[in-house]
Structure 1
Amino acid sequence: MALHEQANRPGAALIAVVAWLSVALRAWIVVGAVTAEGGSVLDGFVTVFSYFTIQTNTILAVVATACTLSSRHDGFLTRPRTLGAITVYVVIVGVIYAVLLAGLRQLSGLAVIVDIGLHRVLPVLFTLYWLAFVPKGRLSWRDPLWWLVFPALYVVYSLIYGALTDRYLYPFSNVPLLGYPRALGNAGLILLAFYGLGLALVTLDRILAPKARSNV
């Protein structure tokens, strides 16, 4: 266990550094673009932190920092249920980007590197961290339902944000183009994907659990 805990903290530290750097650079890029078009710095921050990708990776950065500071998995930010939720969220970020969003925007320079960090590197790194260091056998079949709270609240927020600003952040939620029935249908399908991945994670957690904990 001691060796496991010694490896846990450097791994979490690496993820925390990549996450904080990626989020900070994306914020700097977006705020710069918004202010260049006449918007305020506050407008820029509201814009960048309205994306599910940025919200998820910011939470991931906080959780990874907590895991760096403590190798124990008994606090709210470091317990297996929280780490399982973050794993589901960031994997969905990577999958949706790869399937639906990659190539829709023309990026260059630093923005390309940041985009790769947020959508490709961090989902892989955090999944590997969950596989290697998070204690198994502590998740329940109810957890995927609780994990839906954050993405469900985000759906509500994104629709309100779009209605107030006339700016819809993702093409599959563009109400003026798709209409509310189709946009809400897309949201429902994505929430089903969150739930399905959550169930898959709990199943894998049970498979990988030590025999003594496999009935938890």
Structure 2
Amino acid sequence: MTAPPPLRAADPAGADGAAGPAPLSGRGRALHGAVFAVTALTAVTQFVLTGTGPFDPSSPDPGTIPSMVRFFSFFTIQSTILVAVTSLLLAMGRPLTLGLRVLRVDSLVAIVITAVVHWFLLRPLGTEPGIIGVLDTLLHVVGPALAVLAWILAGPRTAVGAPRGLGLRVTAWALVFPVLFGAWTFLHGAVTHWYPYPFIDVPTVGYGPAVAMALGVLAAFVVLAAGLEGIERAVAQVVSARRARRDGT
């Protein structure tokens, strides 16, 4: 399986189907800059506190390298990093090439799934006290809320001027991330007997329920990614129609 196409300079006419409209407006760039600041600071702080040792001080210490691998194996951490990287690129005014559009969809859908899964499956198990609890809220509530807000205020209009059919390509490439995450989770777990979340902990729940849960998350990813594209395409059509009426064409 190959990686998504690299980011390229925008083609104003969208002739190659990879580049869409111009970069975000000043307001959109500022919004994504704020999202980057919050998510990047949260991820770095979380890593400093828990990334090189056991999350629970009462648990055995697997060692620095295994702890780091485990830290970056959490869907929450990967989602937060995706949001931070994508927000930084958008804040810098990078054009919305196919590659960046894929990253944007992955980051938004992944962080929404992170928030939903945390709220309904993990939060009922209890919350951590102190600074870890604050970071937990930033990772699972504040970060996702800011990412969604930035998309609502600046995202849908980015589809205006994008070539027809681009959304299907973006959605297809966006599925590479969750598929690779699932493959890594089960492969890493089979070797180390460690799984990032209790609902996919194979030694506890078994392969059947764990795989079923992973497929459920993948299905949710597909639905959300397709819904995201549908909303953006609908907004693009409305904006284009208004421009056509205004220009008298």
TM range, normalised to the smaller chain? 0.7 to 0.9
In structure 1, which of residues 87, 95, 116 is the aligned counterpart of residue 116 of structure 2? 95
The equivalent residue for 2:35 is 15
Deviation at 1:27, TM superposition (A): 1.1
Paired with 2:109 and 2:93, the residues of 1 have a C-alpha distance of: 22
TM-score (norm 2): 0.76
**Residue 219 (structure 2) pairs with residue 199 (structure 1):** no
Deviation at 1:155, TM superposition (A): 0.8
Deviation at 1:125, TM superposition (A): 1.1
The equivalent residue for 1:86 is 107
Larger radius of gyration: 2
- Greater Cα offset, 109-118 or 133-142: 133-142
Structure 1 residues 149 and 32: CA distance shift in structure 2, 3 A? closer
Helix, strand or coil at the partner of 1:34: coil
Unaligned runs of 5+ in 2: 1-20, 242-249
The equivalent residue for 2:236 is 209
**Residue 128 (structure 2) pairs with residue 107 (structure 1):** yes
Aligned residues: 211
In structure 2, which of residues 60, 68, 77 is the aligned counterpart of residue 45 of structure 1? 68
Deviation at 1:43, TM superposition (A): 2.6
Structure 1 residues 71 and 133: CA distance shift in structure 2, 3 A? farther
Write the letter of the residue equivalent to 2:208.
Answer: P
Unaligned runs of 5+ in 1: none
Structure 1 residues 146 and 177: CA distance shift in structure 2, 3 A? same
Paired with 2:87 and 2:125, the residues of 1 have a C-alpha distance of: 30
Structure 1 residues 9 and 71: CA distance shift in structure 2, 3 A? farther
In structure 2, which of residues 27, 51, 54 is the aligned counterpart of residue 31 of structure 1? 51
Question: Deviations for 1:87-133, whole angstroms, at most 9, x for unmatched residues?
Answer: 11111111111111113244011111111111111111111212222
CA RMSD across the alignment: 2.5
Paired with 1:57 and 1:180, the residues of 2 have a C-alpha distance of: 27
Paired with 1:51 and 1:196, the residues of 2 have a C-alpha distance of: 22
Name the structure with the higher helix share: 1
Paired with 1:75 and 1:197, the residues of 2 have a C-alpha distance of: 18
Deviation at 1:20, TM superposition (A): 0.9
Percent pairwise identity: 27
TM-score (norm 1): 0.86
In structure 2, which of residues 178, 201, 204 is the aligned counterpart of residue 174 of structure 1? 201
Helix, strand or coil at the partner of 1:97: helix
The equivalent residue for 1:159 is 186
Paired with 2:178 and 2:98, the residues of 1 have a C-alpha distance of: 22
Write the letter of the residue equivalent to 1:16.
Answer: F
In structure 2, which of residues 87, 96, 99 is the aligned counterpart of residue 76 of structure 1? 99
